[in-house]
A and B are shown apart, each in its own frame.
Chain A
């Protein structure tokens, strides 16, 4: 096997020079092209032989972003992948990753494999242990994952040892960064808050709350206890906080054994100020990763591979939930209370007891401790005595994840300021104690554990017969995943086969077959057959293109196949369950004797089955102009059917069922294009490259099996998954005449300055029947990125921009509802608010202190289609050179500075971060310095 690869390396040497050229200039920048091998399902393939749609990114590229979770390094790297991060809390900031958008009404979760074995989560694997990640997109690439494949797969391959002779390559990396929130909204101070609150009360026809004396007090700010003016962000957040990561790896080996050993540490501090991590805690995340991958050739036929990876994750956080914490910081009015009493005690009121400063400093902390181990052993034996090129292999893999929690908690006394007038007529204030100080109590819990066990065994065959190259795989796989909160483990079993054929390196074909089953379906209906065929044609090898100078390489490929998706399905829905249930029964007799009853639970669906996807893909790969320009394009169409939907919406009530049953009834079509291109060149001692990626993906619900609606506009059928519905706003009510002349708005009594809606069904009433589809889907249809770099002498500079568009967001909740529950008001809302004077240019409804179901509901006023463009990474590095390096036995020394999320550009007209909408922990902006040292 290994021999063959090497042989093919040589064959492949034809298109290496360009790559090597840039590698010598700066290996770091061009790591993506370093290896011409592509990792695919249960194997690897030469890039030019690949007939399926696969995108690959190296671990080195991913490592350029200094973030705490792997998913957040994916931005802009893979064409056709949409990454959305809505929470920046260290350790809990997993991004949502959509592979080719949304395919189904059910779970869109993809499967993740590390070195061929499925794992539950990938987010805490360190980029330093990753060789590359392959994103498998089409049927030919995915078919071997059978029943779980249709949502796509991410294949993580970890680094391997190398034959380095006597030498060991030692790599030391250190990086230190400071971060701040990428964006924080701005709120009004106490004076404006009071003024606007009065205005809101007047709008509601209520008496004002703040008199002239109060306003004067807020304006002068002379008494910060009687007239507080607090910006809670300033009180809680430190200016910057830090993130640091270090890794040390050893790579080496000889002809008989090779190793890669790595250890890494990452420490990540949150933004809260003044904490000590003993009786309280900032948000804090520490992680240790280690890995030892060893390949041993016992003799010329028998080899072993042992991969061992593990990590320790420790998270700490205040006892107030992070989302609540940030809500309080954003919504607590500036004049609610001063942060502390004059003698330094925490304030609070009966209605607002959770002074954010108290929440951070006085309540103890919670922590979670996670331990994860993954181990896999593979044995491989050449069976040349049976046939040349035939080998047999077997693997066993085990993965375990364990979490426990350790919490320290206490309560504290807080003091409510009561305003009064003293005997001399002066403002005066006294404090009433509420709550009480308690000692810290320790509790443990929040335990979680899951284990995976997977076995592979099979035969491989690879041989060339003249012009014919043949490669075949026949394999058995079974896996079991257990979770200690669930009664029965998840069991899967697959029989797999694949044949690759190439004629003269020009005509390529790949047939994959999976016979794949799980325990979740009725006996006899547990297995499905998932075939896929991929075909490729390397046109550049044809005579008629041989003479066409600019074309160095040109391949077209196409694939079609049937895939399955069983994710997110209810367990054992084929089984009819009965059981006792609490307070189900009947009284008989003269007393109060209760006779327990038995209940028929959810009605079984014996035919329940997995989702199916017919997936078609065509693609083109080319290299032009001496391989300076590379270009890849893909178009796909997916017909996802048998999607489970609840029957309750469509069942007559007299069916009498209490619990819904899922039926395989819905259908979604998904289609899209993905383009990526790179230009690389060199002029003198300047090397440069510029690359761009673009994808446009749109889905449509073909069959939704939904409840009949009164108004045709309310059907989701024909629209995208995640389509939002709402009213169409046509402006603000000008005055009472305007209200009288328009249809009756039924949600609440409207006043001038409230939103006015279009009566879609022309029945004279504005109600939910007037809702229509508004805006684009919530998952962006378009994603794009630009990656560019330049090297000059020892310097290198690289920029990565990424963005998305055709995305719908809903401005909703406390950031947009000033004065509801006495929430704070943002400067943005204050400046745009409707008043009788500004009615023509107003862009925010009149202020109100009351719940306003007319204004604060989904409408195209609040639902916005946005694009976002971020400068995700920028890195400037310098490679030292000179004899002193050699004397110090240093192979390479590079120092660099980099930033994360430095710039954001968006058309969102609202004072919030376009990704998180400033709800919860913000996205972070990071400035880092780092050093890489290779011995």
Chain B
């Protein structure tokens, strides 16, 4: 009897012990978790991850904060504004006006570009987040159920995006750490193992070029319908290669006198910030790469061409930026669209386009310095003989500006013109019933990208590459190697005549360089080219570019057109130091001990 009882107890105990041990007591219960295998086992998820690569990539070259996607912290522009505000192109006024000033006043440094700061144009660590996503995609896409051809094309998109992000870093920082694989960060040992030092400038260029060539092999020339407008085409890879090689050939990185932009003691540092000696052949490579883009557009793409389809040259130029399907655009990115979308919020001037944008528009205004780059429609220069501080009649202001070429009319909204063309509503800024006069820190507001826009308008797509650039790139590079004069002028005139200016003939390398640079300045106004062009030309430090006095034509007046006057006035004094040709690396990054800081910082 007793033993039976014991048996029962022992049996119960065994059961107790057995019950929990039989099943995975310590296993994590099955849930809705997505694993790396399930991501790339599904077509939809594989695609979704590619969209993630897109959204963290730097396709914008634009104030990402306005884009509404998660790379918003990548480019702040000059925060609430375009980086063109840091050049002689634009000035801003309003809630966010204080923020871009850090770039004017020279108060930025390696610590202020640490994460968490708003006063920042660019954040390298977010850029590397995009690179990491691209690497994850590249390493895993082969496991996905797509066909081999589809996989190769999608992988090529990620390779291109990775290259674009490296370029984005390089144009600001020089030689950078090249990351072409998913870095392991999960164990303590990894942390030291992945401290990759900077590549030389040459090495970084070579990497990007190679990647572009690789991607170009598999990218399609076009996507079937406009559903995928904005995806990478072969032309984009060729375009990036062309731009990279143009930059690499330019004086900042390929100095004709062999001297770096600031004194550098250590030869190793010299190699990080550019080529240590001049090589004219780099211009030839740049010319060939740009020609390849033009050839692709003409012979392969079947759609890509300079846009020249409207009789009115001003309308034609404006159309490029607002027509989402403009055939000149090789790569563009969509922006957040809604009533309170940041694009309208920041870009529309004053309160002309709706009440909402009164809250904090950035009021981008075209400086007088920049206005002077525009010619009159006949190709001659406007006479700017105003003496500072003296009053001139308002009519003269209107006349002089009205005489400027169509691209100016499309790019600037100045007093005495309509906001919405054809509406008949003319704005005189000095009038007290608008808030335009107090907010304009230039000759007029920026109008480009916003033709007739109102609050709630569909935002434009922001353009990364358009074909006109490669005409001017080609002309610029070919001119430096004393190439065929006809080719040079043909490329330059393609852009000029499309804009409504008369063609020019060849006038020698130096003069042609001047013409080509001025054409580029005007054609790509506010498209965030000049910010980098002034650097690569090593002319940022010249008076009136990114340094020194910025002027405006300021209106004064009563309520009558006859009594109003304008004055030439200085509105800003920009600080530039030559160390700023390249950005500093973040101090927190330098403290880690593996990054050589750029000179001067």
Contact = CB atoms under 8 A, between A and B. Distances in A.
B187 A576 contact: no
A493 B20 contact: yes
Interface string A581-605: 1011111111111011111100111
A302 B27 CA distance: 36
Interface string B42-77: 000101110110110000000000001110000000
A575 B186 CA distance: 11
Nearest to B67: A587
B228 A519 contact: no
Nearest to B114: A653
Given A394-B16, A493-B25, A592-B458, A656 B129 contact: yes
A658 B36 contact: no
A3 interface: no
A710 B124 contact: no
Contact of B124 (A455, A588, A653): A653
Given A493-B25, A518-B26, A589-B227, A583 B185 contact: no
Interface stretch (A149-157, A661-669, A679-687): A661-669
Given A588-B230, A655-B128, A488 B28 contact: yes
B20 A651 contact: no
Contacts of A491: 25-26
A708 B49 contact: no
A588 B227 contact: yes
B20 A652 contact: no
A607 B187 contact: yes
Interface string B183-214: 10111100100111000000000000000000
A478 interface: yes
Interface string A700-725: 00000101111000000000000000
Contact of A654 (B136, B183, B324, B588): B183
A455 B28 CA distance: 20
A457 B19 CA distance: 12
A708 B593 contact: yes
Interface in B556-601: 586-589, 591-595
A435 interface: no
- Residue among B13, B135, B179, B336 with the highest chain A CB neighbour number at 10 A: B13
A652 B9 contact: no
A596 B128 contact: no
Given A653-B589, A661-B185, A600 B136 contact: yes
A581 B49 CA distance: 12
Contacts of A383: 6
26 contacts: A457-B13, A457-B17, A487-B29, A489-B29, A523-B27, A576-B35, A579-B33, A587-B335, A588-B227, A592-B334, A592-B458, A598-B34, A600-B136, A603-B185, A603-B186, A647-B185, A651-B185, A651-B191, A652-B592, A654-B125, A654-B179, A655-B132, A656-B125, A656-B131, A656-B183, A707-B591
Interface in A494-526: 517-519, 523, 526
Contact of A655 (B34, B52, B183, B334): B183
A625 interface: no
B510 to A, nearest CB: 41
Given A488-B28, A589-B227, A598-B34, A381 B194 contact: no
Given A578-B38, A663-B186, 9 more contacts: A476-B17, A493-B26, A526-B26, A584-B52, A588-B230, A591-B458, A650-B191, A655-B183, A663-B187
A580 interface: yes
A595 B51 contact: yes
A707 B187 CA distance: 16
A588 B35 contact: no
Contacts of A381: 6, 9
Interface of A: 302, 379, 381, 383, 385, 392, 394, 455, 457, 476, 478, 487-489, 491-493, 517-519, 523, 526, 572, 575-581, 583-593, 595-600, 603-607, 647, 650-658, 661, 663-665, 705, 707-710
A475 to B, nearest CB: 11
Interface residues of B, number: 79
Nearest to B9: A381
Contacts of B49: 597-598
Nearest to A396: B16
B325 interface: yes
B114 to A, nearest CB: 10
Interface string B209-239: 0000000000000000011111100000000
Contacts of A592: 334, 337, 458
B39 interface: yes
B10 A392 contact: yes
Nearest to B123: A653
B174 to A, nearest CB: 15
A606 B35 CA distance: 14
Contacts of B128: 653-656
7 pairs of A and B residues whose beta carbons are closest in the complex: A587-B334, A656-B132, A653-B125, A708-B591, A597-B52, A656-B128, A598-B48
Given A598-B45, A654-B196, A658-B129, A578 B183 contact: no
Given A394-B13, A595-B51, A653-B589, A586 B130 contact: no
A913 B498 CA distance: 79
A590 B227 CA distance: 7
- Residue among A488, A491, A652 with the highest chain B CB neighbour number at 10 A: A652
Nearest to A517: B26
A656 B334 contact: no
B138 interface: no
Nearest to A581: B70
A604 B186 contact: yes
A588 B52 contact: no
A598 B10 contact: no
B227 A665 contact: no
Contacts of B196: 652, 654
B230 A652 contact: no
A578 B129 contact: no
B41 to A, nearest CB: 12
A518 B35 CA distance: 22
Given A590-B226, A605-B187, A663-B187, A652 B591 contact: no
Contacts of A584: 52, 55, 69-70
A653 B586 contact: yes
Nearest to A456: B16
B509 interface: no
A584 B51 CA distance: 9
B589 A519 contact: no
Given A519-B26, A647-B191, A710-B591, A392 B52 contact: no
Contacts of B125: 653-654, 656
B53 to A, nearest CB: 8
B229 A588 contact: yes
B68 A583 contact: yes
A663 B188 contact: yes
Contact of A590 (B3, B183, B324): B324
Contacts of B36: 576, 578
Nearest to B34: A578
- Residue among A392, A583, A584, A587 with the highest chain B CB neighbour number at 10 A: A587
Nearest to A580: B48
Nearest to A381: B9
A647 B136 CA distance: 20
A579 B34 contact: yes
B70 A589 contact: no
Contacts of B226: 589-590
Contact of A457 (B16, B177, B188, B228): B16
Contacts of A595: 47-48, 51
B395 interface: no
Contacts of B250: none
A664 to B, nearest CB: 7
Given A487-B29, A578-B39, A656-B129, A586 B55 contact: yes
A185 to B, nearest CB: 36
Nearest to B231: A588
B31 interface: yes
Contacts of A653: 124-125, 128, 586, 588-589
